[in-house]
Structure 1
Amino acid sequence: MKLSIYIILSLFIVLVYSNADAQSHKDTTATVTVAGTCGQCKARIEKAAKITGVKSAKWDVTSHLLTVQYNESQTSLDVIASNILAAGHDVGDKKAATTIYDKLPECCKYRDELPEVDNVNHNDSLATPSGNVVKGIVLQSDKKGNLLPLTGASIVWLTNGKGVTTDAFGGFQITKPDNDNKLVISFTGYRADTITVTGHDELKIVMATDKTLKEVIVTSRQRSTYLSMLSPIRTEVMTGKELLKAACCNLSESFETNPSVDVSYNDAVTGSKQIQLLGLSGNYTQLTVENLPGPRGIATPLGLNSIAGPWVESIQLTKGIGSVANGYESIAGQINVELKKPESEHLYANVYVNDFGKTDLNLNLSQRISKKWGTALLLHDDFLTNKNLDQNKDGFRDLPTGNQFSFVNRWAYNDEKGLSSQFGIKVLTEKRTGGQTGFDASEDKHTTNSYGLGMNINRYEFFAKTGYVFPEKQYKSIGLQLSGISHQQDSYFGLTDYNAKQQNVYANLIYQSIIHSTTHKFRTGVSFLYDNYDEVFKKTDYKRTEVVPGAFFEYTYTPIEKLNVVAGLRADHNSLFGFFVTPRMHIRYEPIKGTTIRVSAGKGQRTANIFAENMSVFVSSRTVNIINAEAGKAYGLNPEVAWNKGISVDQKFKLFHNDALLSLDYFRNDFTNQVVVDLENVRTVNFYNLQGKSFSNSFQVQLNVEPVKKLELRLAYRYYDVRTDYNGKLLERPLMAKNRAFANIAYAISGWKFDYTINYVGKKRIPATDGNPVQYQLSNSSPDYVLMNAQVSKTVGKKQKMDFYAGSENISNYKQPNAIIAADQPFSPYFDASMIWGPVSGRMLYAGWRMKIE
C-alpha cells in the first residue's frame, strides 16, 4: 500500500516539475520596502506586484524588501506600488487604506508588529515641511550604471539619533535640529555615509556599488512570536521562525518555547499527549487547522502527534473564548494551525534522529503551475523501532514502537479578479505497538503472557475553501469552508479492546461587510456540523449521530482607533440536546499608546467523548462506570457548558534601550455542566454529570525583553486554581500544578542560533491510592521539579542555505519514579499507568538537517 502511494507521489512530482517555466530575461530591477509578516503576506504581495510588464517579483519576509524585474515600456514602479497598496500592504511611507488593511487575516496584521530601525522616529517623515526641514533622495547604482531608488535606507542625525527611512522612491524629509548638521545614511549591505547639511537644497545621495560590504549587516528583523495589539481578540502568533527553536517533529512539540501551553503525556504506555490551557485539559481548547476542524473526537488523544511540525507555517493561540464564526466549542481557548501554502518555499526537506531510535523524514514541495494555479505536496514519515527503550527499568517500553506516514496535497486557484480557492486531501496511516519490552503481538496479544497494546489508525480528510472579494468594495466578501473526515482506530490494551470510527462533515458560509462605514462592520453566516460515532468498548457498542445546523452574527464597532467592541451571537440546534444559544463579546481599549487592555466574556458548549479523551484509563485495571446515564444522549450524559471571562493588559515599553513587552492576563471558567472524570476511588473511574461547582482560575504574567542585541529573554509565571465537586467534595483537579514558571533564552550571531528553555513545575495533587497494598501506594502529592531543553543550530551556504541542528530535551534526566503502579503485575487489580505527573522518559539527544529553497 505504502509503495503504491510513493509511486503515485513520485509521478505527481515529475509531472508537475516538468512544466516549470524557465526564468525570463531581466530588464529593469528595483527594490522597495513592503510591510508584511508571514508567508501569506509574501504570496499576496508578490501576486499584487506581478502585473503586466513585471517579469518577476520576490518579497523577503525577513528584510521586508521586494525585488521586482519589469519592463519600463509597459509599467512603472509607481504603478506597481499602487497595486500593492490596493492589496493592503504599505509601500515605503505610503499607507494602504485602512478599510483594505482591516480585511487582512490576523496573522498578516503588520502595523503594530514590524520592527523599527534603531532610534528612528518614523513620524518625523510626516512632519509639515518648513524652513527647518531637509529633503532628499537616496539612490543606488546598478552594474550598468543606472541610478535606482534605495527604499528603506536609514537617515539619522548624528547627535540625537532621530531619523526617518526612505520611501518607495528613495525620498525622505527630516526635521533639522538646531545643534546638529550631520546626517548618517545607512542601508543593509552598504557602508554608512555621513554628510554635512549646509543649506536647504534637496540632497541627492548615491550609495555606490563599490561600497558594498562582504557581509550583510541586518539592523532589523521580524519577531518570532508576536501579539497583535490591534486585534480585539487577544491572539498570539507563533511564526515559523519560532518553531525552529526546537525540534518540533509534530504539533505537540511546537509549544516547548511557549509559556501559555503545557504539553504532557496522558499515561506511561500509549505515548499519547495532551495540551493544557488555562488549567484545563486540551479537550476544552478548540483545535483547528486553517479554521477547519482539526483532530477532535476520536482523534483527540493522538491528534497532536498527527500534524508534522515542518508542515506548520504559523500557529495562532487565543486564550478564552474565540469568535462565534468559528463555532461554539471553544471554552479554554483556540489553537489554529496554518499549514504551508503553495506560495511557500519551493522545497523544504528535514531529517531528524534521536538517541531513542526515532527518525523523522519530511519533504515539502510547491510549484506554480500557471499564473492562476499552484500546488503543494507535504510528506511526513516517522518510525521508532527500539523495543527496549526502558529508561526507568520498569519492564515497559517508554514509548510505543511503530510507524506513522502522512501527506497533504493541496491546490490553490486565484483568478486575480477577487475569486480565490484552495482544496486538497490529507491521508494518515499509523501503527503502534507498546507495553512490556518482551511483548510479541503475534504470540501474546489478548493473553496474559505479557502485557501489550496496539493501535492501528487510518484517517482520510478532504478540505476546500472558496472566497470572493468584491473588487469595487474590498470591505465586502463571501466565503465557504468545507471539510470531510473519516477516522478509524482499532486498538487493544492488554485484554481490553477499543475500536472506534468517526465520520465528520463540516460546512461554514461567511459573509462580511460594513454598515454605512468601516466604523460598523459585521460578519454573518450559517454552519453545519455532522458527527457519526461508532465505538466498541469491551464488546459494548456506543453509537450516536449529532447533526448541528446553526447561524451566527458578529458585529464590530470601531468608533476610534483606540477602541474596538466585538459582539457575537450564534444559535445552533443539536439533534441530541436541542436548541442552544452562544453569546460572546470582546472589548479592546488602548488608553495610551503602547497600553492595550482587553476584556472578554462568553459561553462555550461541547459534547464530551469520554473514551477517546480519557484513553489513559484503558491502561489500568479500573472499572469504567457511567453514572445516571439517560437514553438518547452521548453516553447518557449532558453536554458540557461553561462561561469564560477574561481580562488582559499588554504594555509596551523600552528596557535596555530595546523594545520590551509586559503582559498580564486573568481568566476564569465556570461550568454550569461538566462531565466529571472521577478517579478518587482507586478501583474505578466514574463518569457523571456535574453536581455542584467546577471552575478554573488562571493568572499569568510574562515579560519579553532584549537585554542586548540579538539576545531575547522570555520570562513567565502562571498560577492555576482549578477545582471540581467530586461526589460532594470540592477538590483540586488532580495532576495539575498550581504554580509554574518559565524562561526561554534565545541568541543569534553569524548564522548560529542558541536556545535554552527552563520549566519549573510545582507539586500536583495525586488521587488517593490507599486502597492498594503498601508497595503500590503513592503519596498524596508529587514533588516539584525543573525541566530543561536546549538547541543549537548553524546556517551554512549562501545560495542554497542549509541548517544543521542538535539539541537535548530533559537535560537533567529527571523521571517520575514508579510511573506505572504494579508494573510487575499488569493483569492484577492494582495495575495503573495513568497516574502521570512528571516525565516518563529521561534525557533525549537529537540532531537534524533541513534545507529550504524559496
Structure 2
Amino acid sequence: MLVMMPEILKPQTKPTKNYLNAALIEKMMRMFMKINFALHQTFKIKRHTPLFITGILTLSGFLLSAKTSAQDAGKHTVSGKVSDIQTKETLPGAAVSTIPAEAGTFSAADGTFSLELETARQLVVTYVGYKNDTIPLSQGPEQLSIELKPLKTLKEVTITSRRKSTEIGLLEPAKMEKIGSKELMKAACCNLSESFETTPSVDVGFTDAVSGYKQIQMLGLAGSYTSFTRENIPDVRGLAAITGLTFTPGAFVESMQLSKGTGSVVNGYEGTAGQINIEWRKPFEEKEPALFLNGYQSAQGRSEMNAILSHKFNDELSSNLLLHAKSNWMKVDQNHDGFLDNPLGNSFVGSNRWFWFSPKGWEIQGGVKAVYLDNTGGQKSFEKGTEQIAGNPWGYQQSLTRMEAWAKIGKINLTKPYQSMGLQLSGVYHDQQSQYGIREYDGRQQSFYANYIYQSIINNTNHVIKGGVSFSADAYKETFVGTAYNRTEIVPGAFMEYAYNYQKKFNMVAGLRADYHNLFGAFVTPRLHLRYALSDNSALRASAGRAQRTANIFAENTGYLASSRNFVVSGTDPETPYGLKPEVAWNMGLNYTKKFMLDYRDGAFSVDYYYTNFTNQVVVDVEKPGEVSFYNLNGKSYAHSFQAQLDYEVIHKLDVRLAYRFYDVKSTYNNILKEKPLVAAHRAFINLGYETNSNWKFDYTFQWTGSKRLPERYTHHEMIVAEGNSPSFIQMNAQISKSWKEGKIEVYAGGENLTGYMQHDMISGAENPFGKSFDGSLIWGPGMGRNFYVGFRYGL
C-alpha cells in the first residue's frame, strides 16, 4: 500500500510545465476513482485504508496542479476539511479537484486540504462509498467545511443451498446413500427398525404376529445379510440379528450411510447385501445442544422418552450421556384374533461416550452401552408366569440384557497427514430368555473384536493404500427346547486395500483379505469397486465381491417360534455350527447416478442393478405345513435386484421422491427352484416433503407393495391350503411438524398406515394355539392397524 504524506500533497511552488491535457487527466482521475471504489468493495477494505490506486490518484492530482504556475498573479488559497455528514468523522484521502481542471489534491490524515487557485469556479470532492459533492467557489480565499453523504447501503444478498435430507455423492467409488437427521425426522423413527420408512432401498416387515419385532430386507435378502456398524464398529450381529435393531433409539442417530453390495475389506468379510453405518450424535459438534429431549406418545399405548446430555470441556475433551426409556402399556388387538398386536413391556437403553482429540494428532474415543427389555405378549388374557399347557392362555415372554464397551484409537502423522493408523476395539455381552407357548429359547453371546488399520500413500495421494489385521472371537451358548447348541468362533485375519484416483474421472478400490476360521478353515475375500465419471454431474459405478457368514438359525428365525411348526435341523458335520456349512455368496452390481438442474432447482436420478449368487446357503424351508427345515443348499439360490429413483424439488421447498423396485429372488427347496416366499417382487414408492418459511413441515409417504408367494399352510381347521399369492396393498404415512427458535423446539404429529389396512389372518388356528395348525409366522402384510402419534423435540 502507498500512503501519501500531507506535505507531499501541497501545491508546487516551482513553475511546472503542463505536459498533459487537462481534460484527459480529469477522465483518468475519475476512472481511477471508480477502480478504487471497486477494489474497496471487492476486498472489503475499510474506507480509511489507501490502496496503490490512491497513489496513482495523488499523482494525477499533482499533475493537475501543475496546470497553473505559482508565479501567476491573482492566486488565492482555498482550504477546508472533509468529514462524514452523519458521524462527523473526518475522511482522509478524499480526492479534491477543480472545475475547470486547474488543481487537485487529497485530504490529509485529519481530513484537511489546501489548494491555491486562480480561475476555478467549482470544487469537486469524491470519496469511496460516498456521494460526490460539488461546491461553488468565490474568487477569493475560502475556508470550507465539506460534509459528504454516504451512499445507500445495498441490501445483503444471501445465496443459500438447501441440503437434501438424503444425498448420493458422485465422487465415492461405491454408491452411498447419506441419510441425514432431516430424513430421519420425517417419521417418528423410534428405533433403528423404524428408521427406513422413507427409504425405498430398504423393506421393513414384521417377523411374526406375536413379538412385534420388525426385520429389514435389502436386495431381497433378510436383514441378517446386511452388515450393521456403529461408526464402523460391528453392531447388530449374532444373536441380536432381529432384536438388535431396537437397541438403537432414533433420537441417538445423527445420520446413516447406506451402501448396497459388498463393502470394504477393511470392515470384514460379512455383509452380503450391503452395509448400513450408523453415526450417533457427537458432543463436540457446534450445533449439538447441551440438552436434547425427545418425547413420543402413540394412540396404541406406546410411550417413549429420550434425553441426551452433551458437554464440551475444552477443544480436546467432550462427552455425552444418552438415555432412552420405552413402555408399551395398552392391550391392542385391532384384527380381533384374540392376540395382542404388540406385546406389553418396558425397555431401557443407556450409553456414555467420551472423545479426546490431541493437538499432536492423537484421537481417542470410547463408550459403554447397556440395554434391558422385558416383554409379555400372546393372547389378551395371558398373564406373566401362566403355565403353558393346553387350556391356558398362550403366552409370549422375553427378557434381555446386553452390555457393550468399545474404543477407537487413532493417530495422524502431522508432518505427513496422509499417514494414519487406527485401532478399533469392541466387547459385547448378550443374554436373552424367550418363551413362545410351550417352547423356550435361551441364548448367550460373548464377543470380542479388534481391528488395526494403517493408511498411507504410494508416491502421491492418487495412490492410497490401507493394510491391517483383525481378530474376532464369539462364544455362543444356545438352548432350544432343552437341546444345547454351543460353539466358539475365532477368526484372525489380515487385509490390504489399494485405492487409485485419476483426477475426478476415475476411481478404483481393490481389496483382498485372508481369514482363518477355527471351524471352517482358511478363506479369501476379494472385493472391487470402480467408478467412472461420464460427466461432471454423472457417475457410473460397478462392484463385485465375495462375502461369508455363519448363520444363527434360531436367533435369525425367531418368527417361526410363534407357531406349532417342528424345527428340523439337517446338519451333517458335528464340528460346525448346527452341523451346517458357512453361507458364501458373490455379489455384483452396477449403478448410475445423474444430478441435474431443471428450472433452477436440483434433481437427481439413480438406477441400480445387483445380482447375488449363493455358492452355499443355509436354506430356511417352510414349504411343508407345520414344519421349518434348515439344510445346506443343494442347487441354485440367487437374487436379482433392480431399482430406479428420482428426487426433484418440484417447486421451492417441495421435494418429491419417486422410486420403483423389482426383486427376483429364488432358491432351491428340496431340489425344486422356487420363488422365495414372503418377498414382494414389485414395490412403488412416493415421498413428498414440504417446508414453509415459517418452519412448518409436511411429509407424506405412499407405498404400494405387490403380491408375495405364500407356501402351503394349514387353515384354521387343520386343512392344507395350496400355495398361492397374497394380495397387493397400499400403505400411507404422514407427519406435520412445527419448529421455533431455529429448530431448538419442535412439535410433531403424524399417522401411520392411514388406510388401516391389516393382514387379518395373521395367525392361523388362533382359536387353538396349542394345536398343530397354529401359525403366526407367515406375515405378508401390515401387523398393526391405523396409528396416530404426537411428540416433541427440544434442544437447549
Contact preservation (8 Å) 1:136, 1:204: no
Q: What letter is aligned with 2:191?
A: N
Q: Deviations over 1:631-688 (max 9, x none)?
A: 1101100000000000000011222331111101000000000000000001210000
* Residue pair 1:141, 1:209 contacting (<8 A) in 2 also: no
Q: Which residue of 1 aligns with 2:453?
A: 510
Q: Does 1:367 align with 2:329?
A: no
> Partner of 1:816 in structure 2?
759
Q: Does 1:625 align with 2:568?
A: yes
Tell me which residue corresponds to 1:248. Answer: 189
Question: Is the counterpart of residue 499 in structure 1 residue 499 in structure 2?
Answer: no
CA contact under 8 A between 1:795 and 1:803: conserved in structure 2? yes
Q: Distance in 2 between matches of 1:688 and 1:592?
A: 48
Taking the TM superposition and a 5 Å limit, the aligned residue runs for 1:5-24 are: none
Between the aligned partners of 1:204 and 1:666, the Cα distance in structure 2 is 63
| Shift in alpha-carbon separation, 1:248–1:778, aligned structure 2, 3 A | farther
Q: Match of 2:451, SS? A: strand
* 1:718 aligned partner, one-letter code: R
SS in 2 for 1:616: helix
d(CA) in 2 for partners of 1:768, 1:540: 28
Please give the residue correspondences for 1:127-206 in structure 2 after superposition, counting only pairs within 5 Å.
137=41
Q: Is the 8 Å Cα contact of residues 811 and 843 (structure 1) preserved in structure 2?
A: yes
Match of 1:537 in 2: 480
1:836, 1:675 → 2: CA distance? 21
What is the number of equivalent residue pairs in this alignment?
663
| Contact 2:571 2:578 survives alignment (8 Å) | no
Q: Which residue in 1 is equivalent to 2:615?
A: 672
Aligned CA distance change for structure 1 residues 218 and 271 (closer, same or farther; 3 Å): farther
Say which of 714, 718, 725 aligns to 2:661. Answer: 718
Counterparts of 1:218 and 1:258, CA distance in 2: 29
Which residue does 1:441 correspond to in 2? Answer: 384
Instruction: State the partner residue of 1:358.
Output: 302
For residues 273 and 461 of structure 1, the distance between their equivalents in structure 2, rounded to whole angstroms, comes to: 22
Q: Retained in 2: the 8 A contact 1:287–1:294?
A: yes
Question: C-alpha offsets along residues 468-493 of structure 1, whole Å, 9 cap, x if unaligned?
Answer: 01001111100000000000001111
Deviations 1:563-609 (A, max 9, x none): 00110000000111000000000000002221100000000000000
Q: Quick one: percent identity of the two aligned structures?
A: 47
- Alpha-carbon distance in 2 for matches of 1:470, 1:672: 43
2:741 is aligned to 797
CA contact (8 A) 1:137 1:204 kept: no
Distance across 1 between alignment mates of 2:41 and 2:439: 77
CA contact (8 A) 1:776 1:830 kept: no
Q: Residue 553 of structure 1 corresponds to which residue in structure 2?
A: 496
CA contact (8 A) 1:141 1:208 kept: no
Q: Are residues 446 and 367 of structure 1, via their aligned partners in 2, closer, same or farther at CA, if it must alter by over 3 Å?
A: farther
Asked whether the 8 Å contact 1:655–1:707 carries over to 2, the reply is no
Distance in 1 (CA, whole Å) between partners of 2:619 and 2:717 is 27
Cα displacement (A) at 1:773? 3.8
Q: Residue 278 of structure 1 is aligned with which of 207, 212, 219?
A: 219
Q: CA deviation at 1:406?
A: 0.7
- Which has the greater radius of gyration? 2
Q: What is the alpha-carbon distance in structure 2 between the residues aligned to residue 250 and residue 453 of structure 1? A: 22
Shift in Å, 1:797: 3.2
1:368 deviation in Å?
1.2
Aligned to 1:598: 541
- Are 1:219 and 2:160 matched, yes or no? yes
Post-superposition Cα deviations, 1:52-76, rounded to whole Å, max 9, x if no partner, equal xxxxxxxxxxxxxxxxxxxxxxxxx
Mapped to 2, the partners of 1:596 and 1:529 lie a distance apart of: 36
**More deviation in 627-636 or 763-772?**
763-772
After TM superposition, the structure 1 = structure 2 runs for residues 653-802 of structure 1, keeping only pairs within 5 Å, are: 653-749=596-692, 750-769=694-713, 773=717, 777=721, 780-797=724-741, 801-802=744-745
- 1:446: how far off? 6.0
Q: Provide the C-alpha distance between the structure 2 equivalents of 1:139 and 1:567, rounded to a whole number of angstroms.
A: 46
| 1:253–1:817 Cα change, 3 Å | same
- 1:110-509 aligned at under 5 Å gives the runs 137=41, 219-344=160-285, 345=288, 346-386=290-330, 388-445=331-388, 448-509=391-452
Hey, what's the Cα distance between the residues in 1 that align with 2:485 and 2:719?
Answer: 37
Structure 2: distance between partners of 1:635 and 1:679:
18
Offset from partner CA, 1:4-55 (integer Å, 9 cap, x none): xxxxxxxxxxxxxxxxxxxxxxxxxxxxxxxxxxxxxxxxxxxxxxxxxxxx
Say what the alpha-carbon RMSD is for the aligned residues. Answer: 2.5
Aligned to 2:793: 850
1:321: Cα distance to partner? 0.6
Question: Does 2:552 correspond to 1:609?
Answer: yes
469-478 vs 442-451, which moves further: 442-451
Per the TM alignment, residue 219 of structure 1 is displaced from its structure 2 partner at its CA by 3.3
Is the 1:682–1:772 Cα contact (8 Å) retained in structure 2? no
Task: Structure 1: state its 5+ residue gaps.
Answer: 1-130, 148-200
**Cα distance change on mapping 1:560 and 1:813 into 2, 3 Å:** same
AA of the residue aligned to 2:187 = A
Distance 2:412 2:495 in 1: 20
Q: Measure the CA separation in 1 of the matches of 2:573 and 2:194.
A: 39
Q: How does 1:28-67 map to 2 (within 5 A)?
A: none
**d(CA) in 2 for partners of 1:208 and 1:277?**
62
The change in CA–CA distance for 1:542 and 1:204 in structure 2 (over 3 A counts) is farther
Decide whether the 8 Å contact of 1:606 with 1:641 is kept in 2: yes
CA contact (8 A) 1:265 1:274 kept: yes
Q: Structure 1 length as normaliser, TM-score?
A: 0.75
